[in-house]
Amino acid sequence: MSINIESKLPNVGTTIFTVMSSLAASHKAINLGQGFPDYTMNDELIALVNKTMKDGNNQYVHMCGLPLLRERIAEKVNRAYQSNVNVDTDITITPGGTYAIYTALTAILRPGDEVIVFDPSYDSYIPNIEINGAVPVAVSLRYPDYSIDWDVVREKINPSTKAIVINSPHNPTGSVLTQSDIDQLKSIVEGTGIFIISDEVYEHLIFDQKEHLSILRYPELFERSFVCFSFGKVYHCTGWKMGYCIAPAKLMTEFRKVHQFNCFTCNSPAQYALAEFLEEPAHYLQLGNFLQQKRDYFRSIMRDTKFEPLPSYGSYFQLYSYAAISDESESEFAIRLTKEAGVATIPVNAFYKTPVDNKVLRFCFAKKESTLEEAVNRLVKYFG
């Protein structure tokens, strides 16, 4: 008898990031698709990992994360967001932000629960919801500024609504939540049992003097929230897969029940090194400026093409409309660009529950200037 597996995720294929990175590699394209820097991370941080390994810090640390690292995180966020996060009960170190989001959703969801997600949104949220037997309910962001229509959110709320997933700065669009968004969110969840999953992995990658409105700033939101962060984005080491989740004790207790039998505890040397490195705020406080310069440089050289930029106030990403260049679908155009022009991007429809064809591609500008220049040269040459 042959073995059959009935897929728990029948509508899910391979993530677009892997698809486009593989296509880029096989066509020697410049990869502005998947979001990761191509510049080096800080040598001091590398040396700290090396040193701590030589010092013998190579065994399991506490399942919630190295206590010193949690202390440093509490100091950091309490200073930055005027919060009152508890070191012992509210923080768990995770293998990346994506894992933190999955674990939070798994800790709270039961079959039939509804979760509000925005369309477009990061591609892991919907599969994370579905694998738990829950139902994603999409609310479209308004094109072209990708702002939230809170009246539509209100219409979708019902007794089955278990959670809302928010993400600011937003992947893939680079939009950021404003004070009025926060006020709307507060009034919508007040008096309900709705949880909030807040994906804040791009907290420091925010531009144009905008301020990151972390959920940690608002006690009435934090009491119902799992807030997810990433060290990879902060220290240019996405491949380390290190992040953390912050939630109030009652919620974190449930999060840890899932975490302890999945990953149990994360890479120890990285935690020792990060604990020491976090002491110096300058490392992350200059990130906004650093990435804003890259965004601005990329936008300035892209003026030599017919691509039209959409607003981006944060993240690694800049969206461009190619409506003035081609009628092809986003996927067709992104594939042609990779194979023929030698530049890989991400078609934005990959981030939609209900795809729309706005003719928009996502470009990652977290790259060396020389990489960005070479990519734009290729586009200019290809389109003539």
Report the C-alpha gap between 77 and 86 in whole angstroms. Answer: 11
Among positions 214-233, residues that touch ligand GLN (CB under 6 A) are none
Please, what is the minimum distance in Å from the beta carbon of residue 312 to ligand GLN? 13
Site string for ligand GLN, 73-102 (x = CB under 6 A): ------------------------------
- Strands 243-246 and 225-230, sheet pairing: antiparallel
Q: Residues 6 or more apart from 351 whose CB is under 8 A from it?
A: 119, 120, 121, 122, 123, 171, 172
Classify burial at 236, counting beta carbons within 10 Å of its beta carbon; exposed 0-12, middle 13-18, buried 19 or more.
buried
Cβ atoms of residues 137 and 171 within 8 Å: no
Q: Which is nearer to ligand GLN, 37 or 269 (CB)?
A: 37
Please, what is the minimum distance in Å from the beta carbon of residue 35 to ligand GLN? 3
Which region holds residue 82: left if phi is over 0, alpha if psi is between -120 and 50, else beta? left
Q: Residues 6 or more apart from 381 whose CB is under 8 A from it?
A: 341
Please, what is the minimum distance in Å from the beta carbon of residue 346 to ligand GLN? 7
Please, what is the minimum distance in Å from the beta carbon of residue 50 to ligand GLN? 26
Classify burial at 356, counting beta carbons within 10 Å of its beta carbon; exposed 0-12, middle 13-18, buried 19 or more.
middle
Report the C-alpha gap between 145 and 121 in whole angstroms. Answer: 14
Please, what is the minimum distance in Å from the beta carbon of residue 384 to ligand GLN? 29
Tokens encoding 241: 């897969």
Report the C-alpha gap between 153 and 116 in whole angstroms. Answer: 8
Residues touching ligand GLN, count (CB under 6 A): 5
From 31, 32, 34, 218, residue interacting with ligand GLN (rule: CB under 6 A): 34
Q: Which is nearer to ligand GLN, 17 or 297 (CB)?
A: 17
Q: Which is nearer to ligand GLN, 34 or 267 (CB)?
A: 34
Q: Which is nearer to ligand GLN, 30 or 221 (CB)?
A: 30
**How far are the Cα atoms of 59, 118, 204, 224 from residue 138, in angstroms, in the given order?**
43, 5, 27, 21
How many distinct helices (H) and strands (E) make up the chain?
15, 13
Q: Which is nearer to ligand GLN, 35 or 243 (CB)?
A: 35
From 128, 161, 171, 345, residue interacting with ligand GLN (rule: CB under 6 A): 171
Q: Which is nearer to ligand GLN, 162 or 362 (CB)?
A: 362
Please, what is the minimum distance in Å from the beta carbon of residue 233 to ligand GLN? 8
Polymer length of the chain: 384
Please, what is the minimum distance in Å from the beta carbon of residue 124 to ligand GLN? 7
Q: Which is nearer to ligand GLN, 15 or 305 (CB)?
A: 15
Report the C-alpha gap between 281 and 77 in whole angstroms. Answer: 11
Please, what is the minimum distance in Å from the beta carbon of residue 171 to ligand GLN? 5
- Residue 17 as a binder of ligand GLN (CB under 6 A): the answer is yes
Q: Which is nearer to ligand GLN, 16 or 251 (CB)?
A: 16
Closest residue to bound ligand GLN by CB = 35
- Residue 35 as a binder of ligand GLN (CB under 6 A): the answer is yes
Residues that bind ligand GLN (CB under 6 A): 15, 17, 34-35, 171
